[in-house]
């Protein structure tokens, strides 16, 4: 089986590439290294069935050629991370909508399966817990920058389903909830790598808001396993699946756990949202997926505990800094 992974040098894409290679498949990565990094795929570079191209999905001839050579397209290339979205809204909207449109158009011409990385952000401010795939999306007003991300991804989902219904494109949508693990970086605002870096540097651990907001974090290994198993099932075509865990933790508790796991002397500091992001910023107080559709399809759901996840992230930070010191 030949796979094209757009955004394959990103955090989740690189784990997906690794898992597909490990089972003997052929993987090509297309990534413009905007938020991804060559370091994420460095260890795959010599692998016999692996290749990568540094380039953008907006390069249509290149995209068409790579889609032509693949059996399955995993589309993860996107502008991600709340900080980046607020800082660069034009890039977010253009990349997320324009890029997906091109991928779908070229995949449809050749009838190639597409697996699209959507996000739990599309549920927005819904309070209908747990979030079911067929539930309402409750998005905020356009002047609040963060909503451009949810809106762009929701529109991408409409496009996937439109291509499926109108052109018979075998498309499947995965709504990924907070996914964490080794190789994720905090530059774009993701909370766990930020806390781990702060704890390891004995710097203040910056909890935004009250710290009572909660999330369900899932291990990237579990997410990738679910992604691959779903993408292997013909019954997934035309469907939308939440992928995540339902083990909920508040951000304040997460900070305390990271401090404990690292034995750090860092103080835990509460930072008001308007200082952390922008004035008027809206954070989600809770985000919990319904996993019944996932469980029904696969017979299992992600279960790795947050403590195990934190330990793996700490280990990967420590390995990385040892490697940098040794170089």
Residues lying near ligand UDP in the complex (CB under 6 A) are found at 82, 178, 189-191, 194, 206-208, 213, 215, 251, 283
Helix or strand holding residue 118 (H, E): strand 113-119
| Residues 300, 294, 173, 180, Cα dihedral to 10° | -50
Exposed e or buried b per residue across 197-212, where buried means at least 16 C-beta atoms within 10 angstroms of its C-beta? bbbbeeeebbbbbebe
Nearer to ligand UDP, 184 or 231 (CB): 184
Q: Which of 149, 163, 241, 277 is catalytic?
A: 149
Q: Quote the least distance from Cβ 206 to ligand UDP, whole Å.
A: 4
Is the bond leading into 130 cis (omega within 30 degrees of zero)?
yes
With beta carbons less than 8 A apart as the criterion, state whether 176 and 217 touch. no
With beta carbons less than 8 A apart as the criterion, state whether 129 and 72 touch. no
Q: Is 149 a known active-site residue?
A: yes
Q: What is the largest CA-CA distance in the chain?
A: 58
Rounded Cα–Cα distance for residues 29 and 39 (Å): 13
Q: Residue holding tokens 């784990």?
A: 15
Using the Cα atoms of residue 123, residue 128, residue 134 and residue 136 in order, give the sign of their dihedral.
Answer: negative
Q: Quote the least distance from Cβ 225 to ligand UDP, whole Å.
A: 21
Using the Cα atoms of residue 128, residue 281, residue 156 and residue 173 in order, give the sign of their dihedral.
Answer: negative
Helix or strand holding residue 172 (H, E): strand 171-176
Q: Residue holding tokens 């253009």?
A: 94
Nearer to ligand UDP, 206 or 239 (CB): 206
Q: Quote the least distance from Cβ 193 to ligand UDP, whole Å.
A: 9
Using alpha carbons, select from 112, 126, 152, 84 the residue that is nearest to residue 237.
112
Nearer to ligand UDP, 107 or 199 (CB): 199
Nearer to ligand UDP, 135 or 209 (CB): 209
Q: Quote the least distance from Cβ 182 to ligand UDP, whole Å.
A: 16
Q: Quote the least distance from Cβ 96 to ligand UDP, whole Å.
A: 15
Nearer to ligand UDP, 112 or 215 (CB): 215
Q: Quote the least distance from Cβ 31 to ligand UDP, whole Å.
A: 21
Could you give phi then psi for residue 105, rounded to 5 degrees? -60, -45
Nearer to ligand UDP, 26 or 194 (CB): 194
Known catalytic residues? 149
């Amino acid at each position: 089986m030949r796979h094209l992974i757009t955004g394959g040098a990103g955090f989740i894409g690189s784990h997906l590439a690794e898992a597909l290679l490990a089972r003997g498949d052929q993987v090509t990565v297309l990534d413009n290294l905007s938020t991804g990094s060559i370091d994420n795929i460095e260890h795959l570079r010599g692998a016999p069935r692996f290749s990568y191209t540094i380039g953008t999905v907006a390069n249509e001839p290149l995209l068409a050629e790579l889609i032509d050579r693949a059996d399955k397209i995993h589309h993860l290339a996107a502008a991600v991370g709340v900080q980046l979205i607020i800082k660069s809204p034009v890039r977010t909207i253009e990349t997320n909508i324009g890029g997906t449109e091109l991928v779908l158009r070229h995949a449809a011409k050749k009838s190639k399966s597409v697996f699209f990385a959507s996000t739990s952000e599309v549920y927005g401010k819904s309070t209908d817990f747990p979030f079911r795939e067929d539930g309402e999306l409750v998005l905020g007003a356009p002047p609040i920058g963060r909503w451009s991300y949810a809106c762009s991804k929701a529109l991408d989902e409409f496009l996937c389903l439109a291509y499926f219904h109108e052109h018979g494109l075998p498309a499947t949508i995965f709504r990924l909830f907070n996914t964490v693990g080794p190789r994720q970086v905090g530059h774009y605002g993701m909370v766990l790598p930020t806390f781990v870096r702060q704890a390891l540097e004995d710097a203040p651990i910056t909890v935004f808001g009250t710290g009572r907001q909660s999330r369900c974090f899932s291990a990237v290994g579990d997410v990738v396993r679910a992604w691959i198993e779903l993408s292997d099932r013909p019954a997934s075509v035309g469907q939308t699946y939440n992928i995540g865990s339902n083990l909920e933790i508040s951000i304040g508790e997460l900070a305390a756990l990271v401090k404990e796991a690292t034995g750090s002397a860092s103080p835990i500091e509460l930072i008001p949202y308007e200082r952390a992001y922008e004035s008027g910023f809206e954070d989600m107080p809770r985000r919990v997926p319904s996993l019944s559709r996932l469980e029904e399809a696969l017979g299992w759901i992600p279960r790795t505990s947050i403590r195990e996840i934190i330990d793996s992230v700490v280990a990967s930070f420590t390995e990385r800094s040892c490697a940098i010191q040794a170089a």
